[in-house]
Amino acid sequence: MISRNVTIQNSIGLHARPATFFIQKANSYNCSVWIEKEDRRVNAKSLLGVLSLGIVKGTTITLIADGSDENSAIEGLSELIDSDLEAL
């Protein structure tokens, strides 16, 4: 299991369309992926879970992955967030 802290920089946070693309990317990995914000942890492959965290610009979250492709998942999802989700 590995984890990484990332800060959301895009203007609308991880809501609606950006969240959908993030979840699609998370689902492309075989490992389990979670997002942790403060004391809550949700499945990063669940739209309702991700939206329930209310992640806005400037929020620091922890990405957690566990499984055969955990390194690829953390790298890929971190890069997506660092790109301000502009590739969408």
Residue partners of 61: CB distance under 8 A and separation at least 6: 5, 6, 7, 8, 14, 35, 36, 37, 53, 55
Q: pLDDT tens-digit profile of 10-46?
A: 888 988 889 999 999 999 999 999 999 999 999 999 9
Instruction: Give the span between the Cα atoms of 4 and 11, in whole angstroms.
Output: 21
Instruction: Give the span between the Cα atoms of 39 and 17, in whole angstroms.
Output: 25
Q: Where in the sequence numbering do the catalytic residues fall?
A: 15
What domains lie within the chain, and their CATH numbers? Answer: 2-82 (3.30.1340.10)
Instruction: Give the span between the Cα atoms of 41 and 34, in whole angstroms.
Output: 6
Q: pLDDT tens-digit profile of 40-81?
A: 999 999 999 999 999 999 999 999 999 999 999 999 999 999
